[in-house]
Amino acid sequence: MENSPRNTVRPYLITKKLVPENQETPIHFQNGDIVNEKLFFRRNHFHYPKFTSSFYLLPIEGFVYTPKVFSLQEIYSFPAKAIRLVLECSGNKRELFEPNVFGEQWGKGAMSQGIWKGVSLRSLLQYTGLLDTAKEIVFEGYDYGARSDSNQFHHFSRSLPIEKALDPDTILDYEYNHHPLPFKHGFPLRLIVPGWYAMASVKWIKKMIVIDQEFKGPFQAVDYVYYPNTENDHQKTLVTSIHVNSTIQSPLNMQTLNTGVYEINGIAWTGTGQITTVEISMDEGLTWHTCELVSSSEKYAWVRWKYIWDAHKKGEYTIKSKATDSFGNIQPLDPIWNRKGYGYNAIDSIKVKIE
Amino acid sequence: MENSPRNTVRPYLITKKLVPENQETPIHFQNGDIVNEKLFFRRNHFHYPKFTSSFYLLPIEGFVYTPKVFSLQEIYSFPAKAIRLVLECSGNKRELFEPNVFGEQWGKGAMSQGIWKGVSLRSLLQYTGLLDTAKEIVFEGYDYGARSDSNQFHHFSRSLPIEKALDPDTILDYEYNHHPLPFKHGFPLRLIVPGWYAMASVKWIKKMIVIDQEFKGPFQAVDYVYYPNTENDHQKTLVTSIHVNSTIQSPLNMQTLNTGVYEINGIAWTGTGQITTVEISMDEGLTWHTCELVSSSEKYAWVRWKYIWDAHKKGEYTIKSKATDSFGNIQPLDPIWNRKGYGYNAIDSIKVKIE
């Protein structure tokens, strides 16, 4: 009876909001290198879009030599590239900011990882060319709706600077984990921008427009901006690269355990280079120990780490994890507070009690 | 395409722990009077038990005139009773205690409601009789395992005082929402103790033993006890009745809204009598307004309430809800802190921002 369906135990997405659908991955219960499609976090700005995918065409227009419309058949016929990478919402861990920040109260699971496959954007742009004055490429999604700061409807649109758009790893994706890209994650085509927070990876791409100036759409110039001050917009900067980060997956926060030997484990990731070191502390950050990396440390992907802990002394412990990347970025002790709550990457911290 | 399965949006259980399975109900997304079996919260002390339900028999033994073993057929043949009632884990809302308390970090959804149907325990006890010295009845579940404070294995066992056991509303349940009781919730027989926190409603009942003294099992004398002090066990009391309580379901905490007219809604419940009043405050508890009760206020069940809010002024608001029951119990402003974090019932409080 132990394995019968009636007592199967499995994790579920953690429901944050249903309209639009925002649900996070039960990240503490993901111990592999790819997340099943069903448990991939869902983050939407609007209702799911309606369009007829059988007539799908992708136009590239604007400051190009030759505007062109690609069919899916053409796109599928180009050489493809598969990349294992983390997509992380820039609001991941928002609920940990103090003072609290308004917006979706994401825990530690507004991130997932899997294998994305598609065609380099660069190879499509070879067909259209780019005018010398081209500065950015705007990606417009099929999803649209009202915003609280405007009477107009807006599509979800974001831009990339030309250099990032031409990075061979920036792809138009049509597969996830060797299956067709799921509708909820952007079928038939989703932009994947490795190393950047996931707002850049526009779903359900409707068209691409090359422009000769900075894009000023509200999902780029209003949202997804770091505002360090409460009362004014001084010193604002755009949200782009994923900050170096780590999460302890086991044990769980506020868990009670017997004395014994435990494997502490978790993940670490970064948008810049790759993870070089993960350290752990059992004493509020006074002393640190190096963790073993138990999966290969690759660009764009999370690395799994572990540390064997001999918990022979009863008491309460604060366990902290701290990751460093190959660009020398280290998780800070305190989060860098900002008004909209993006890019949380403070040293991860949990408490456990040994009885 | 809006209603096609590929973009169906639904809530899921919120995963807290998988071994044993502890998952909470997405309570903010339950707007009816019964919770679907799939979204009913799951709280276990051990692995799911293994036993062969086709040979299931229920013994009643100990301080009775005539020990007896009931078959399921006999139990099904007795007059049945159906009750709509809340089951609430005594650790519900534990994560809100400050200072934080060790143990499962339940949010507001370690509670669900549905229609429970079974036979009054009282009518079975008429067949066995009770000796004059009978004091309590112990209910032993099939689930068992190790505890952190002992080398022995323990079954999950709890007792009821004779008076509560003889309450006609205390039932041995075999149906939930007009379907056979799901295995995960105690099939084939679960005790249902209306008005008490859910630890009393023992699942997978193996046997019942009438005793002439106070039961001292660890799930009654160690756990499920209010310990008001951090360092010692003075003034401890047993966890029994559900405290008067309320939860705001909409809007969500830290949500950002446009100016406009909103329906604030939620639920209120109590283990003593029934809910008489729910009040709401928009100004940190300075002034209170009476909410409309939108479902009938019944013993054991939650009542749904609403309040129309004209949010025409921009700013940040703290919204609080406060329920009162027919015994005159009122939610306190501050939770009554206790070392194991049971019975949280402070006035519910959320923040929203009107832009």
**Given A9, A51, A148, which is nearest B355 (Cβ)?**
A148
Give yes or no: residues B204 and B105 share one domain: yes
Please report the pLDDT score of residue A273 as a whole number.
Answer: 96
For B51, other C-beta atoms within 10 Å of its C-beta total 13
Give yes or no: residues B88 and B140 share one domain: yes
Do residue B11 and residue A21 have CB atoms under 8 angstroms apart?
no
Pick the residue of A14, A21, A95 with the most B CBs within 10 A to test the interface with B by mutation: A14
Q: In this structure, is residue B1 part of a structural domain?
A: no
Q: In this structure, is residue B116 part of a structural domain?
A: yes
Query: Measuring CA to CA, which residue among A323, A331, A329, A274 is closest to residue A297?
Result: A274
Query: Measuring CA to CA, which residue among B345, B275, B327, B344 is closest to residue B304?
Result: B275
Geometric angle at alpha carbon A20, from A17 and B10, rounded to 5°: 60
Do residue B14 and residue A14 have CB atoms under 8 angstroms apart?
yes
Please, is A197 exposed, middle or buried when counting C-beta atoms within 10 Å of its C-beta (0-12, 13-18, 19+)? buried
Whether A140 and A155 have beta carbons less than 8 Å apart is answered as yes
- CA torsion angle for A159, A164, A165, A169 (degrees, to 10)? -130
Query: Measuring CA to CA, which residue among A287, A282, A272, A288 is closest to residue A328?
Result: A272
CA distances in angstroms from A297 to A112, A135, A278, A279, A300, listed in the order given: 16, 33, 11, 15, 9
In chain B, whose CA is at the least distance from the CA of A355?
A: B148
Whether A64 and A131 have beta carbons less than 8 Å apart is answered as yes
Give yes or no: residues B181 and B61 share one domain: yes
**Given B12, B48, B103, which is nearest A15 (Cβ)?**
B12
Please, is B175 exposed, middle or buried when counting C-beta atoms within 10 Å of its C-beta (0-12, 13-18, 19+)? middle
Please report the pLDDT score of residue A4 as a whole number.
Answer: 64
Do residue B102 and residue A253 have CB atoms under 8 angstroms apart?
no
Q: Assign A270 a pLDDT band (cuts: 50, 70, 90).
A: very high
Query: Measuring CA to CA, which residue among B238, B234, B166 is closest to residue B200?
Result: B238
Q: In this structure, is residue A8 part of a structural domain?
A: no
- Integer Cα distance of B2 and B101 in angstroms: 44
Give yes or no: residues B299 and B231 share one domain: no
Helix (H, G, I), strand (E, B), or coil: what is residue A79?
coil
Give yes or no: residues A83 and A194 share one domain: yes
- Integer Cα distance of B186 and B183 in angstroms: 5
CATH number for the domain spanning B188: value is 3.90.420.10
- Integer Cα distance of B289 and B279 in angstroms: 5
Pick the residue of B4, B6, B14 with the most A CBs within 10 A to test the interface with A by mutation: B14
Read off the tokens for A241: 């690269």
- For chain B of 355 residues, list the mean pLDDT of each consecutive stretch of 10: 70 96 98 96 97 92 98 97 98 97 97 98 97 98 90 94 98 98 97 98 98 98 97 97 98 95 98 98 96 95 98 96 98 97 98 95
Contacts of B101 in chain A (CB under 8 A): 254
Please report the pLDDT score of residue A5 as a whole number.
Answer: 67
Give yes or no: residues B67 and B184 share one domain: yes
> Domain boundary residue among B186, B212, B238?
B238
Q: Assign A150 a pLDDT band (cuts: 50, 70, 90).
A: confident
* Residue B309: its H or E element: strand B303-311
Q: How many structural domains comprise chain A?
A: 2
Name the average pLDDT for chain A.
Answer: 96
- Integer Cα distance of B179 and A6 in angstroms: 15
Do residue A102 and residue B353 have CB atoms under 8 angstroms apart?
yes
Tell me the shortest Cα–Cα distance from B227 to chain A, in angstroms: 17
Give yes or no: residues A215 and A296 share one domain: no
Give yes or no: residues B149 and B298 share one domain: no
Give yes or no: residues B344 and B319 share one domain: yes
> Domain boundary residue among B238, B260, B286?
B238
**Given A29, A100, A183, which is nearest B18 (Cβ)?**
A29
- Integer Cα distance of A130 and A151 in angstroms: 34
Please report the pLDDT score of residue B3 as a whole number.
Answer: 46
Do residue A2 and residue B351 have CB atoms under 8 angstroms apart?
no
Tell me the shortest Cα–Cα distance from B9 to chain A, in angstroms: 7
CATH number for the domain spanning A302: value is 2.60.40.650
> Domain boundary residue among A238, A270, A302?
A238
Do residue B103 and residue A256 have CB atoms under 8 angstroms apart?
yes
Strand pairing partners for A157? A140
Half-sphere exposure of A24 (CA within 13 A, CB side): 24
* Residue B73: its H or E element: helix B72-77
Contacts of B351 in chain A (CB under 8 A): 100, 102
CB neighbours of A32 closer than 8 A, spacing ≥ 6? none
Do residue A51 and residue B10 have CB atoms under 8 angstroms apart?
no
- Integer Cα distance of B3 and A271 in angstroms: 37
DSSP B258-284: -SEEEEEEEEEE-SSS-EEEEEEESBT
Question: How many Cβ pairs closer than 8 A exist between chain A and B?
Answer: 102
Q: ipTM value, please give it.
A: 0.93
Do residue B15 and residue A18 have CB atoms under 8 angstroms apart?
no
Whether B207 and B196 have beta carbons less than 8 Å apart is answered as no
Tell me the shortest Cα–Cα distance from A42 to chain B, in angstroms: 10
Mean pLDDT of A232-254: 98
The CA-to-CA distance between both ends of chain A, in Å, stands at: 32
* Token pair 């355990």 in the structure block, residue: A257
* Per-residue model confidence as pLDDT tens digits over A71-101: 999 999 999 999 999 999 999 999 999 999 9
Give yes or no: residues B198 and B178 share one domain: yes
Give yes or no: residues B228 and B271 share one domain: no
**Given B47, B50, B256, which is nearest A148 (Cβ)?**
B256
Q: In this structure, is residue A41 part of a structural domain?
A: yes
Please report the pLDDT score of residue A1 as a whole number.
Answer: 42
- Integer Cα distance of B71 and B279 in angstroms: 48
- Integer Cα distance of B217 and B224 in angstroms: 11
Please report the pLDDT score of residue A151 as a whole number.
Answer: 78
In chain A, whose CA is at the least distance from the CA of B49?
A: A2
Whether A166 and A188 have beta carbons less than 8 Å apart is answered as no
Q: In this structure, is residue A262 part of a structural domain?
A: yes
In chain B, whose CA is at the least distance from the CA of A13?
A: B12
**Given A23, A103, A255, which is nearest B256 (Cβ)?**
A103
Q: In this structure, is residue B9 part of a structural domain?
A: no
Q: In this structure, is residue A132 part of a structural domain?
A: yes
Tell me the shortest Cα–Cα distance from B58 to chain A, in angstroms: 20
Give yes or no: residues B112 and B131 share one domain: yes
Do residue A102 and residue B17 have CB atoms under 8 angstroms apart?
no
Contacts of A38 in chain B (CB under 8 A): none
Query: Measuring CA to CA, which residue among A346, A302, A341, A351 is closest to residue A322?
Result: A346
Please report the pLDDT score of residue B4 as a whole number.
Answer: 64
Q: Are strands B289-290 and B245-250 parallel, antiparallel or unpaired?
A: unpaired
Pick the residue of A22, A93, A147, A254 with the most B CBs within 10 A to test the interface with B by mutation: A254
Which residue pairs, CB below 8 angstroms and at least 24 apart, start in A301-304?
Answer: A301/A33, A301/A84, A301/A85, A301/A86, A301/A113, A301/A269, A302/A33, A302/A86, A302/A113, A302/A267, A302/A268, A302/A269, A302/A275, A303/A267, A303/A268, A303/A269, A303/A274, A303/A275, A303/A278, A304/A31, A304/A33, A304/A265, A304/A266, A304/A267
Please report the pLDDT score of residue B5 as a whole number.
Answer: 66
In chain B, whose CA is at the least distance from the CA of A42?
A: B9
Whether A69 and A56 have beta carbons less than 8 Å apart is answered as no
Do residue B148 and residue A9 have CB atoms under 8 angstroms apart?
no
Q: In this structure, is residue B124 part of a structural domain?
A: yes
CB neighbours of A193 closer than 8 A, spacing ≥ 6? A160, A164, A170, A200, A201
Do residue A2 and residue B48 have CB atoms under 8 angstroms apart?
yes
Distance of CA B52 to the CA centre of its chain: 27
Q: Could you list the residue range(s) of the whole structural domain that residue B274 is in? A: 245-354
Mean pLDDT of A38-58: 94
